[in-house]
């Protein structure tokens, strides 16, 4: 995957330096390079989108393509409409949402999480969004069979807390680093509580 990203970045640099006459051929080379890197990495299918902010401050998509297959068994091609799991790409998105709300004064990063979300079970120690952002909250990561590759779907973000909300904290918040996906699930809930709308809806609007 790193090779694919490198190909995209170098090709994008070449594309931005190209004039109008060579833009089309540059895009064709970009397509070929990405797909070749995908095949070398043995990745079944990917989506690639590149955004650019203009001089007016408005962002727009300047390149988007689907490569490979969305469904290997049935031979369904990947397109720009194909949905893939965002995996850890969702973490920086969540962090941006949290910081936006903090800047607007709607979310205090140092407020104990239980004050933000009273349904959170009482733990040995309190934890904050500030600590969760730095993977310092003591919330565990995936450590059970099938957690990382599970396909169970949850109707709401709150419902997904059932996976770990009863577990003890791994350490006192702020005293140790422990990479955690579940910690960012809590941050997503904080976004919902502070904004008053669904997490996905917030990301789509902001």
- Written as one string, the DSSP assignment of 113-181 is HHHH-TTSPP-SS--BHHHHHTT-S------STTTTT-----SSTTGGGGGTTTSPPSS-TTS-----S
Q: Given this model, what pLDDT does residue 71 score?
A: 93
Q: Given this model, what pLDDT does residue 101 score?
A: 98
pLDDT band for position 81 (50/70/90)? very high
- Three-state DSSP state, 97: helix
Give dist(CA 154, CA 162) in Å, integer: 10
Percentage of residues in the chain having pLDDT higher than 90: 63
Give dist(CA 31, CA 35) in Å, integer: 6
pLDDT band for position 93 (50/70/90)? very high
Mind listing the domains of the chain with CATH numbers? 2-77 (no CATH), 87-205 (3.40.710.10)
Give dist(CA 72, CA 78) in Å, integer: 10
164, with CB counted inside 10 A (0-12, 13-18, 19+), is buried
Higher pLDDT, 128 or 89: 128
Average pLDDT over residues 55-70: 88
Q: Strands 76-77, 59-71: parallel, antiparallel or unpaired by DSSP?
A: antiparallel
- Three-state DSSP state, 87: helix
Which residues are bridge partners to 47 per DSSP? 66
pLDDT band for position 2 (50/70/90)? low
Write out pLDDT tens, residues 98-129.
Answer: 999 999 999 999 999 999 999 999 999 999 99
CA distances for 166 relative to 18, 50, 64, 139, 176, angstroms: 55, 40, 42, 11, 21
Q: Given this model, what pLDDT does residue 8 score?
A: 62
Q: Given this model, what pLDDT does residue 68 score?
A: 96
Rounded to two decimals, the pTM is 0.76
- Cα separation of the two ends of the chain: 28
Write out pLDDT tens, residues 22-40.
Answer: 667 778 888 898 899 899 9
């Amino acid at each position: 995957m790193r090779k694919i990203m490198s190909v995209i970045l170098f090709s994008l640099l070449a594309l931005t330096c190209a004039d109008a006459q060579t833009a089309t051929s540059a895009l064709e080379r970009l397509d070929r390079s990405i797909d070749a890197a995908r095949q070398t990495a043995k990745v079944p299918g990917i989506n690639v989108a590149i955004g650019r902010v203009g001089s007016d401050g408005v962002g727009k998509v300047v390149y988007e393509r689907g490569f490979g297959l969305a469904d290997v068994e049935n031979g369904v091609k990947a397109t720009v409409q194909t949905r893939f799991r965002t995996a850890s790409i969702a973490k920086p998105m969540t962090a941006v949402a949290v910081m936006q709300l903090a800047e607007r004064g709607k979310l205090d990063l140092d407020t104990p999480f239980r004050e933000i979300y009273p349904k959170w079970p009482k733990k040995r120690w309190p934890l904050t969004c500030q600590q969760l952002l730095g993977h310092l909250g003591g919330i565990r990561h995936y450590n059970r069979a099938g957690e990382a590759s599970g396909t169970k779907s949850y109707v709401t973000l709150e419902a997904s807390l059932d996976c770990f909300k009863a577990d003890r904290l791994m350490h006192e918040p702020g005293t140790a680093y422990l990479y955690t996906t579940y910690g960012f699930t809590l941050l997503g809930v904080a976004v919902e509580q502070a904004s008053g709308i669904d997490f996905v809806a917030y990301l789509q609007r902001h």
